[in-house]
Amino acid sequence: MPAMGLKNAFIPVADSGEADIEIIQPLGEEGAVATFAKERGEGQFLLSIAVDNIEAAVEKLRAAGARVSDPRGGLAFVSMKSSHGVNIQLVQR
């Protein structure tokens, strides 16, 4: 993903395709991943949750009180204020 300033690779956890581990590396010194790596070193960056309908999922989380970005490109991000600092993204299946 050079356009996002990232290099990435997916490791499937099992053959079922139900879960992947994504390894990401910043290509420069700008952006959320680079900042994370600079501040905390290597480690777990975010929890990505696959949903069937991202618009509905965002609506549901907002109704429950979470702050969530508008879906864009099949992704939506939960404000870390709604998770005590855990980075969470929703991804459209």
Partner 1 sequence: MGAGATNIDHIVISSNDSAATAQLFSENFGFPIKRTMSRPGTRAHLEFAKLDEVVLEFAGPGEVKPYDEVKSRIGGLVLAVTDIDAAVAAVRAAGYECGEAHPAIQPGAKIATVKSGTGGVPFAFIQYNAIPQESPA
CB of 35 to partner 1, least distance (A): 14
Among 28, 39, 64, 93, binds partner 1 (CB under 8 A): 64
Residue 65 sits in the site that holds partner 1 (CB under 8 A):
yes
Within 8 A by CB and 6+ apart from 76, the residues are: 54, 57, 58, 68, 69, 70, 89, 90
Q: Which residues bind partner 1 (CB under 8 A)?
A: 13-14, 16, 18-19, 21, 23, 41-47, 49, 60-61, 64-66, 78, 82-87
